[in-house]
């Protein structure tokens, strides 16, 4: 084994994702690259919540649909349905769950609004719960029905609706596993 030359020049690490453009810092916020964009995107807890909550709901709802609609007796059929279910977005799963009488119309509408809020946060880094489009979606949530939605309380209405959906789905999953002795 050859001995390493300790005097060899060290390579400078490169960041292949860093922008090569030299712009003033004031312009960096509007570019989809650079540290300022990432910091603004990830330090916002509301953004993280608005993007990840629908993902969690989507997974739980997919499990619920699979358990309610398909029997595990035919494994090949079950696996094919599972692949198909993984390609559905939240609105598609909500509509399917409503069609299969797994959820009611109120929860279906809430899931549609939660999905729209998620999309707004995912595609517009300036979005927050005081954004006019997001306020419009929050006003349509069942938790906000008949109540005044403001910039200060819109996040709470959103959290309440998300929590109601998750609790409903988990209760249905638990009820299903107790009655059918199915492992999740």
Q: Read off the pLDDT of residues 87-137 as tens digits, 9 standing for 90 and up.
A: 899 999 999 999 988 899 999 999 999 999 999 999 988 888 999 999 999
Asked, for residue 23, whether it belongs to a domain, the answer is no
Asked, for residue 6, whether it belongs to a domain, the answer is no
Q: What's the confidence (pLDDT) of residue 32?
A: 44
Split at pLDDT 50, 70, 90, the class of 68 is confident
Q: Can you give 37-90 as a three-state secondary structure string?
A: HHHHHHCCHHHHHHHHHHHHHHHHHHHHHHHHHCCCCCHHHHHHHHHHHHCCCH
128: helix, strand or coil: coil
Q: Which residues span the domain enclosing 62?
A: 43-180
Q: Quickly count: other Cβ atoms within 10 Å of residue 160's Cβ.
A: 15
Asked, for residue 161, whether it belongs to a domain, the answer is yes
Query: How many domains are contained in the chain?
Result: 1
The burial class, CB within 10 Å (0-12 / 13-18 / 19+), for 28 is middle
Asked, for residue 36, whether it belongs to a domain, the answer is no
Asked, for residue 153, whether it belongs to a domain, the answer is yes
Asked, for residue 76, whether it belongs to a domain, the answer is yes
The pTM score is: 0.69
Split at pLDDT 50, 70, 90, the class of 26 is very low
């Amino acid at each position: 084994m050859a001995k390493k030359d300790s005097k060899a020049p060290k390579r400078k690490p490169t960041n292949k994702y860093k922008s090569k453009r030299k712009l003033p810092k004031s312009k960096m916020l509007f570019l989809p690259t650079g540290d300022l964009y990432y910091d603004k995107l990830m330090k916002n807890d509301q953004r993280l919540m608005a993007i990840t909550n629908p993902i969690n709901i989507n997974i739980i709802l997919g499990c619920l649909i699979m358990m309610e609609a398909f029997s595990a007796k035919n494994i090949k059929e079950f696996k094919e349905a599972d692949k198909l279910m993984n390609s559905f977005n939240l609105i598609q799963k909500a509509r399917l769950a409503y069609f299969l009488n797994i959820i009611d119309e109120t929860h279906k509408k809430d899931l549609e609004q939660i999905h729209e809020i998620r999309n707004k946060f995912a595609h517009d880094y300036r979005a927050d719960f005081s954004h006019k489009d997001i306020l419009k979606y929050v006003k349509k949530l069942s938790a906000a029905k008949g109540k005044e939605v403001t910039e200060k309380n819109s996040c709470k209405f959103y959290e309440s609706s998300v929590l109601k959906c998750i609790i409903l789905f988990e209760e249905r999953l638990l009820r299903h596993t107790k009655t059918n002795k199915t492992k999740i």
